[in-house]
Structures are given as C-alpha cells and as structure tokens.
Structure 1
Amino acid sequence: MSSAGVAPRPWIAERLGITGGRRDAEHGQALVRLVLVPLFGIYIIVVLSFDGFNTIGEGLAVLAVIVYAPVSVVLFWHIVQRPGYFVWRRMLAMFGDYGAMTLAMAAGGMTMLPVYATLLWVTVGNGMRFGSRYLLAATCMALAAIAIATIFNAQWRAEPFVVVTLVLTTLIVPAYIDNLQRALRGALDEARAASQAKSNFLAQASHDLRQPIHAISLFTACLRDAGLGREERQMVENIDRSLHSVAGLFRSLLDIATLDSGKVEPKLAPVCVGDVIADVVRQYSEMAQWADVDLRAVPCGLVVRTDAALLSTMLQNIVSNALKYAPEAPVLIGCRRRGGRVAIEVHDRGPGIPEDHLGQVFDEFYQVRERGDRDVEGVGLGLSIVRRVGGLMGLEVGLRSTPGRGTSVVISGLEPCRNAAKPAVSATATAPSAVSGLRVLLIEDDEDVLLATATLLQKWGCVVEAQTGIPKTANAWDVMITDYDLGGRKTGADCILAVRKLVGRPIPAIIVTGHDETRVQRDLGDDTVPILAKPVRPAELRSVLTTEMVAAHH
C-alpha cells in the first residue's frame, strides 16, 4: 500500500490475471471449471435429448462431458495439494476443456452454437490468468476446435458466414485482450517502480532526518540535568515534547515505507500479552502526562503466539491516537478471551467519532476533522498501519465509537499459547546511578549523535570510549552501543561480531538505528540483542542498559 494513497496494490495484478502463473490464478481457473463443466453437461444433455441421441457423435459428446466432470475434480484436488507452476498440468486442463467443447460443437449441429461463448470465455480466461503465451496456445486450440467442428458438423458447413464470424471473433477478441494486458502490465510496472522509489525515499528520508532529531533529543536530556532554572527547564520540556511529536511522524512514515516494501514477515513466538501492554504504557507514560491522560492497563497473564514487535507497533499507534484525540480523558488497555481466542482492547472516554467518519478512519492519510476542530498532530496513518500489520498476522481490528462517550479499538484473533513466554529481565532505571561506572564502547559514524550520546552517558556516570568505526584494539568494556549503518559497507551486525571476536567473549550489545527494526533484526539474526529506534528516549536507553547488565550478571 502506498503512502501516497494511489499506488498499485499487489492484489490488483492477481485479480486481473497477469500474475505469471501464481497459485491463485490456476486455483481460480480450476474453480471456474468445477462450475462450468456440470452446467455445460446439463445443457448438452437437455438439448441433445430432444433429438433422442440419433448419432454416435451425440452419445460420445454426452459421455465425454460426464467423464470430464470427475477429471475436473481431480485437477482441482491436485492444484490444492501441489500448488505451483506445472506446464503439463495446465496443458492437460486446456486439452480437456477444448476437447470436450470441440466434441459438443461437432456433434450437436446449430444447437451447440452457444457453446462457442464458453469456448471464447475459456480462451480469454487462459490468457488473462496465465499470460500471453498461454493466450496464443489457447487461441490456436480454439481455432482448431472451430475447424474440427465445421468438418463434422453439416449445419455449420451450410452457414459459412457464421463460421467466418466465429473465426474472426476468435482472432480479434484475444488479440485485443492481449494488447490491453500489455498496456496494463506496462502501467503497473511503472506504478510499481514509482511506488518503490517513493517508499525508498520515505525510508531514507525518515532515517536521515531521525539522525539530527536523535542528537537534539540527547542534547536536550543533557540540558535537563544541567541545573537549569524553572523557566529554562520548561523550555527544555517544550522542546522535548515537540521532538516527540516529530519522531512519531517519522515513525509512521517509516512504518508505511516498510509495509510497502513487502518485506515484513511476522516472527511468531510465545508472548505474554501483559508484557507488551506494559511496555507500551511505559513508552507513552510521558506523552500521557503531557496530554493530562490517565493511561492505565489491566494486568494480564495470558500468553499468545504472535510477533511481539509488530503487536507492539499496533498498540503504539492505537494508544498514540487515543492520547491525541482524547486529551484529558482516561485510556484503559486490557485483554480478554473471545471464542477461544484472545483480544486486546483499548478504550478511551474522549469525544468519540461521528458515524459518517467510521467507514474511513482506517484509510491512509484520513483524519477525523469537523468544522472548528483544533489541529491535531499527525498525518492520518496510525489506524491504517494498525490494520495492515494486523492483516500480516491474521488479526482483525475493529472500532466502535459513540459521540460524546468515547472510542474502543479491539485487536482480535490472537492465538492462545500454552508454551511459556520468554521471561523479561526486570530492571529499574529510575536513577542514573543504576549505570554509573559502566565501561561503554560507543560506535556511531555521525559525529553529532556520537557527541550527544557520549555526553549523556558520561552524565550518568558511565566511562565512555567513543569510536566512529569498528575498533582495532580491545579494551575492558562492559557493554557496547552501536549504530546500524557505520559506513564502508559495515553494519552494526558486523561490528558486534568483530568486537566480540576482539575481546574473546559475548559482550552485551545494543543497536540503535533509524531503520525498520524488523529488517535490522533479520540481518542481525540474534533476537537477544536489543534494537532501539531513533530517536531514542534517554529513559529507554538507560533502562535497556541496566537490563543488559542485569542479564549479563545472571
């Protein structure tokens, strides 16, 4: 889905049958055959029975249709059991289709002329579903069917202009369809290229703009601890709040660009729902204070099989929307069992959504605005991201709202899991002394970010060794913090491997990145390494640092 709102969806090509032989196309053709063959057989039997089956050909036509019915079922079963691209299976089906229609047209006189409509439909269908080469093969088979039927059908031979019309139609219609398909393929290719270029631009722009925002955020945290006066501290809080808003915008753009790339693959594992909810509440606690919102969560010990990162992304967007659109109103998050599955519910007591907006709130860039409403930050991507991510994991997202009483968003369809979720290592990070004395290797190729991060860590009491690239000599580091893109075709994953080899032990590591976390996790191949998205909240960085050290000492 495009963040421009008009780029092509992948399913368009599949619906138009220009997928180059995907399972859906062959599966669809087999389903059509299951419906047409019985109808085709009923028509032939009814029409020919009026004449009493006077010729051997008529009897053979009826027999062929009766035999072909179970053959169609076998073909469908084979496609379901062994999906994929099998030329022999497609050609076998085509020969069966055209053979049955040829026999009917040859044996039934002018009464079988309507069968030609089915023949033309099948010809065009093969081309639409499987491509130009199959359309050419199908057109040749259709012409052969007309020729054979004319040879054995005296009534057709008596009407040469009818036969000529059939031949011309068989040539012109598929050729016209093929030209339309080629034009459509070209337009789709151009649209895909434009959509991909746009997605790449959004991803790169989001990454590049996060760098200075990340640095500003860290410098702001340093200022907060610099003994400022009341007025200066309030200005720092305002700057921090604005940075938080901008960071949310870039996170939404990056999420959309990542979803557009088609590379998001859920990694399902046992996850405690309560841990995910608690983490989201912690992340948005400061934003809730700014909005004067009582953000609470009902404790939940249920374990489900899901992707924790993607589920967290869904909840983040829902909670962010609730805080923006329902300020000064309580927000409650909880989960419950529904029909053997688990659902997560987010309820707010805000102004609610008018009924005429409910059908569009999941559209990209759509914002609920009424005349005279105050401006709300954001670009209207939150719920669109929620529904798209939910679709990747087979989850349903529903929304109920009553004007004046509030809005409820429900994520349903989570599969309960009996396996124990991976326990989270508890760590309190309320005081800088929790990481005081840590020897930190900091690797970051952006000098502003490097300086800001090092300054903040030093204010917390850490002993920092700052590097712009992978170090050459070992030192007694307790933990390493590295950016993902380090230049020179090196990444944070390469850096972690090199440093661990250098020190001869699995030193705890943290990756900080402006890229999609799923992509970085896939490249890293180690889900024990925390990945923090830029701009990182100082409290989050401190918490993860503490957690890593607690885990290392266990």
Structure 2
Amino acid sequence: MSTNAPQLQAEQITLLLRNMYSSLWPAIVVALALAYTLEPAHGKFTVLCWAIAVISSKTFATWDAQRLLAQPILPAQVPALVRRLLLLNAIDGIAWGALAWVGLDPQAAPASVLVIAVLSGIVGNSMSLLSPVLPVFVVFCVGELGMLALKAWTMGELAYQALSVAALAYLGSLLSQGYNSARATRAAIELRFENIDLIEMLKVESARASDARVAAEQANHAKSRFLAAASHDLRQPIHAQSLFLEVLARSALTPEQQEILGNARAAGLASAEMLHTLLDFSRIEAGVVDPQPEAFQLQTLLTKIESELAPQANAKGLLYRTRDSTVALYSDPALLELILRNLVSNAVRYTERGGILVACRRRRDHALLEVWDTGIGIAAEQQENIFLEFHQLGNPERDRQKGLGLGLSIARGLAQLLGHPLSVVSQPGRGSVFRLRIPLAQQAPLHRHVRKRPQERPTLGLRVLVIDDDQAVRSAMQHLLAQWGCLCMVAEDLDSALELSAQVPPDIIISDYRLRAQRTGAEAIATLRAQLGRELPALLVTGDTAPVRLREARASGVPLLHKPVAPDQLYAALAELANHDAAQH
C-alpha cells in the first residue's frame, strides 16, 4: 500500500500553505519593531523601506496561500506550485537577509547583536513552517543566511568574517535538521494516507461482510422455509399412516400379519421421531418453549431414560449404567428430560464398544448431571461445532441411524433457555463427558402421582368435527374415531365445516392449522364457536414447523398437537377436553 509521489507532494504543499497565515502577524510585528528600534548609519528611511519590503513579501505570500487553499491542491498542480513557492520564499529569504546589509554596523554593537538574533530566530522558525516542502525551506535559508554571511564577510573585520563562517555552518545544520523534519512530515503524511486506505479497505470489507451476512441470513431463512415446508408435507402422510396402523392394530390379524404390522409401526415411529426432532429445533427457534421449573427427584427421570434407551445400548453390546441419586433438582423436568435423552442418545449413537454412564454429583448449591461414554471422542477444534444444527462427526453418508445432527443443538438451546450451562470434555478415541449444571431444589419436591394407562380405552361417545384438507388424514380420522365410539364428521375447508355444524352441532372440533384459501384452523374454530354461540372445545393439529406459524398457533390459545400425532396422545387430549367441558356444564 503506497501513496504516489504527486499526491504526497500535494499534501506537503497544502500543509506548508496552511502554515503561512500563522507567521504573518509575528513577521509584521518584528519588522515594525526593528524599523522603530534600529538607527543605522544609512538612516531611518532605509530601515523603513526594508520593513515595507518584508511585510509586503509576507503579506502577498499569505494572501496567495489562502487563495490557493480555497480549492483542493491537485497532484497535477504540484510542479507549478513548487516553482511558485520557491520564487516567493527565495524573495522572502533575501528580503529578511537584507536586514544584515541595513542593520549590521561595527560602530553599533547592540544593533548588530539585535540583527543577528532576529535573523537567527526567523530562520529557525521557518523550519516548522517551510520544511514540509524541503526545496522551499532550502531557498529561504540560503537567501537569508547567505545575505548575512556575505555582508559579514565584506565588512573586513576578523570578528565579522568569523560570523560569516558561523552563519554558513548554521545554514548547514539547519538544512540537515530540515531534511530530517521533511522526512518525518512525509512519513506522517504517508501514514495518514495508509490509514485512509485501510479505512477504505475496511469499509469495502465491511460492506462485503455485510452482504455476505445478508446472503447467509437469506440462505438460512430459505433453509428454514424449506425445512418447514418439507416437514409439513412429510408429516401429513406419516400422520395418516400412524392413524391407519392404529385402526389396523384393532383388527383381527394373523400372527404373521401382527409381526408385519409391528415392523410397519416401528418404521413409522422412527420417522415420527425424526420429525419431532425437527419440531423441537423449530420450537426453540420460534421462542415458544416456556420453561415451567419446579422441584423434583432426579432418580425418576434417570430411571425413565434408562428404561427407554438402555435396550438400544444393549443391542450394540454396550454396558449402560445409571448411578442412583437422591438429588432433588429445580428445573423443568420435561425439558430436562429432553436434554438428557438427546445426550444419552448421542452417546449410544457414537459409541461402538465400552459403555455409557449417567451420573449426578452434588456441588454446594448445584448438581452436575453427567453423561460419560467411551465413544469416538471429539477433537478440540470440533467441540463447539458439534452444537451447531445438522453438524455430525463421522457421518458423511448421512446414515439416518445416526440421526439428523440436531440432538446436541437442541440440548444446547434448551440448556441456555433453562440457564443450565452445558459443557463437554473429550479426547479423540477415548470418549466424552457432557456436563449439565443444574440448581438444587431449595424445598422438598411434590409427590407426582403417575396413572397407568388402561389396556382398553372406554368409548368417548362424542360428535367430532374434523377439518383437514388432506383426504388421507380425514379418512384415517373417521376410522379411528369410529373405533372410539365417536360420530366423526369431516370437512376439507371452513365452508363445508359450517354446513356440517349447522346440521349436527359437534361436541369437539379438531382442525388442521393450515387450511385452504389462506385460512387457519384458529380462524375456523373462532367462526364455528360464533355460529354455535358457545366456547366449543377444540384442538389444533399442525404439521407446520415454521417458527412464525408456531407462534401464531400458540397465540390462538387453542391446545396444539403436532403431526404425526400418536393415537394415545390424541385420545388423551379428546378425553381431557370432554371431561373439562362436562365439568363446566
């Protein structure tokens, strides 16, 4: 990064011209004072003429500088301006040097001392004023001190000839210092230009970075929209499939058909788990997860996780151990369960030999919940990247058995939401330990009564209006609700739903959130309630995972289920709504 010579010289000339005004009034004062003080042999008139010449020269140079500064100094003007400044300052230097011819008088020693002192001070002061353009400084010094040295030499006395030599030595010293000053000034100007260039480069890079950030945000939004759309479209048939499989499970099947059905339900469950993982990620992004912290016993959660995930570890030949704990924690048990399930699932997924240990250690006012594994380990430079969404180690083929790469991202997001710091310590080839720091409960946890699910569900006997634009979902809901003893009416849009409800008023409404004609399930439920004149129990069911849709659905105040909905979950929700409505009436 370098500045071209004409541009640099233009800046030097600008600096010199700006210095001119500051030297005008001191020069006028000195010249007038000398004209008043000196009484040379040549008379007052001679000194007065000299003062007028000096003042005129200085005034014109200052006026010319102000005129030139009215416009920017361009590099193309440099040669002409340098010649102009050389001429004006040569005249100015000679004019000041003429003082030696006017004021030096062997018969008047005080006057001679005054003249020498003034000329020395003027030429010394000119260094700061003129040294930015070294040739200009040189001509001024040569003009002034040259006149002094010449006059002193021609006076014939040894003392004055010594003064002449001293003046020339002083000239050499000044020129050397002026050269150093000019170099320093040039370096300062170059540094300023470099800083300006750096600032411009930073602006350009900042603009590029800003453009890249905007592009990345747009790509991220596009990714989120794509995932939401893909997730929604995938959820519809899987939701319908799970309902049809539930209907089929209640049919008379041979043992071989029961085995095939079990395999089909397992495959559907695996697909549903992946979709629910995407949903968990979207819910965190949407900010619709509200922690409900309470005091609870950790051992219940540890037992539940072990019962669910230990079989997966055993199937891989791994040893799964849970260290019993009497610790009571203060957190949201449902969200903490989700964090722990993701951590343990990740440990099982990336461990091929050895085992997994889940343990909790008490530390003063908090506990450390730890998940140890003897898996592949994580390199130090990757230990933050593993918490990024869709980031996976050792899965370039995107094997679905290794998940989607969202588990740790969800765990970190929920941990931050709960205020529980999550950290990892790992060594490649030796395994990892994930630690979650959780506050201890300050009071005894409430006893939780867990009801066992009955083997046979009682019939519901409800009139249910289902609004969904997917034919497969409507058909599956009709078959399933009929098995639960319900009269199921189905509509593909709001208009059809209004006609049906006018004929047979429903007890409960189940509506998909996204309907045709840009309508929403929340709007449909509000319209039907207005038509029927009462706060009819209702459920929203959605396959949409877009954060904005999740926030809208949540704001409606209607209970929300996410496709694919497990039949058990749907039955429980309907039974709860029916019981609540009956209690109010």
For 2:492 and 2:400, how far apart are their aligned partners in 1? 41
For 2:328 and 2:557, how far apart are their aligned partners in 1? 22
1:466 aligns with 2:490: yes
* CA deviation after TM superposition for structure 1 residue 233, in Å: 0.9
Q: Pairwise mapping of residues 19-418 of structure 1 onto structure 2 (< 5 A)?
A: 158-159=181-182, 160-256=185-281, 262-264=285-287, 266-271=289-294, 281=304, 304=330, 311=336, 313-318=338-343, 320-321=345-346, 338-341=363-366, 352-354=375-377, 359=383, 361-362=386-387, 364-365=389-390, 367=392, 376-399=401-424, 409-413=434-438
487, 494, 512: which one pairs with 2:516? 487
Instruction: Please name the residue that 1:456 is paired with.
Output: 480
* CA deviation after TM superposition for structure 1 residue 236, in Å: 0.9
Instruction: Please name the residue that 1:506 is paired with.
Output: 535
Instruction: Please name the residue that 1:85 is paired with.
Output: none
Deviation larger for 444-453 or 517-526: 517-526
Identity of aligned residues (%): 30
Instruction: Please name the residue that 2:573 is paired with.
Output: 544
Query: Over residues 37-94 of structure 1, what are the superposed CA-to-partner deviations in whole Å (9 max), with x where a residue is unaligned?
Result: xxxxxxxxxxxxxxxxxxxxxxxxxxxxxxxxxxxxxxxxxxxxxxxxxxxxxxxxxx
Amino acid at match of 2:403: G
* CA deviation after TM superposition for structure 1 residue 343, in Å: 5.9
**Residues 292, 328 of structure 1: 8 Å contact kept:** no
- Larger Cα Rg: Structure 1 or Structure 2? 2
500, 506, 521: which one pairs with 1:477? 506
* CA deviation after TM superposition for structure 1 residue 330, in Å: 10
For 1:318 and 1:189, how far apart are their aligned partners in 2? 33
**Residues 211, 535 of structure 1: 8 Å contact kept:** yes
**Residues 280, 312 of structure 1: 8 Å contact kept:** no
Query: Over residues 317-367 of structure 1, what are the superposed CA-to-partner deviations in whole Å (9 max), with x where a residue is unaligned?
Result: 3354466567999999887865434665667xx764546599465455455
Query: Over residues 486-524 of structure 1, what are the superposed CA-to-partner deviations in whole Å (9 max), with x where a residue is unaligned?
Result: 122222222332233333333332222112397556324
The answer for unaligned runs of 5 or more in structure 1 is 1-150
Deviation larger for 205-214 or 325-334: 325-334
Instruction: Please name the residue that 1:515 is paired with.
Output: 544
For 1:416 and 1:305, how far apart are their aligned partners in 2? 8
* CA deviation after TM superposition for structure 1 residue 239, in Å: 1.0
Structure 1 residues 154 and 230, CA gap change in structure 2 (3 angstroms) = farther
Give 1 or 2: higher helix fraction: 2
* CA deviation after TM superposition for structure 1 residue 279, in Å: 12
**Residues 432, 460 of structure 1: 8 Å contact kept:** no
Amino acid at match of 1:494: E
Query: Over residues 532-551 of structure 1, what are the superposed CA-to-partner deviations in whole Å (9 max), with x where a residue is unaligned?
Result: 22111212222222333344
Q: How does the TM-score come out when normalised to structure 1?
A: 0.57
For 2:573 and 2:299, how far apart are their aligned partners in 1? 15
Structure 1 residues 389 and 367, CA gap change in structure 2 (3 angstroms) = same
Q: How does the TM-score come out when normalised to structure 2?
A: 0.55
For 1:507 and 1:420, how far apart are their aligned partners in 2? 36
1:439 aligns with 2:439: no
For 1:193 and 1:498, how far apart are their aligned partners in 2? 36
* CA deviation after TM superposition for structure 1 residue 211, in Å: 0.8
Structure 1 residues 352 and 280, CA gap change in structure 2 (3 angstroms) = same
Query: Over residues 259-315 of structure 1, what are the superposed CA-to-partner deviations in whole Å (9 max), with x where a residue is unaligned?
Result: 6xx542553444465699769959x97787787789999899967465x77555434
Instruction: Please name the residue that 2:562 is paired with.
Output: 533
Amino acid at match of 2:475: L
**Residues 521, 527 of structure 1: 8 Å contact kept:** no
**Residues 351, 376 of structure 2: 8 Å contact kept:** no
Query: Over residues 361-383 of structure 1, what are the superposed CA-to-partner deviations in whole Å (9 max), with x where a residue is unaligned?
Result: 5455455659xxx9834233211
Structure 1 residues 469 and 437, CA gap change in structure 2 (3 angstroms) = same
Instruction: Please name the residue that 1:91 is paired with.
Output: none
Q: Secondary structure at the match of 1:488?
A: coil
Structure 1 residues 512 and 361, CA gap change in structure 2 (3 angstroms) = same
Query: Over residues 426-485 of structure 1, what are the superposed CA-to-partner deviations in whole Å (9 max), with x where a residue is unaligned?
Result: 766434533431322222111111111221121122221222233223544333222111
The answer for unaligned runs of 5 or more in structure 2 is 1-125, 133-180
For 1:225 and 1:398, how far apart are their aligned partners in 2? 47
For 2:512 and 2:570, how far apart are their aligned partners in 1? 13
**Residues 300, 335 of structure 1: 8 Å contact kept:** no
For 1:441 and 1:275, how far apart are their aligned partners in 2? 42
* CA deviation after TM superposition for structure 1 residue 528, in Å: 6.6
For 2:565 and 2:276, how far apart are their aligned partners in 1? 12
Q: CA RMSD in A?
A: 4.8
Structure 1 residues 329 and 164, CA gap change in structure 2 (3 angstroms) = closer
Amino acid at match of 2:539: I
Structure 1 residues 178 and 325, CA gap change in structure 2 (3 angstroms) = closer
**Residues 270, 419 of structure 1: 8 Å contact kept:** no
* CA deviation after TM superposition for structure 1 residue 219, in Å: 1.0
**Residues 283, 547 of structure 2: 8 Å contact kept:** no
Instruction: Please name the residue that 1:142 is paired with.
Output: none
Amino acid at match of 2:224: S
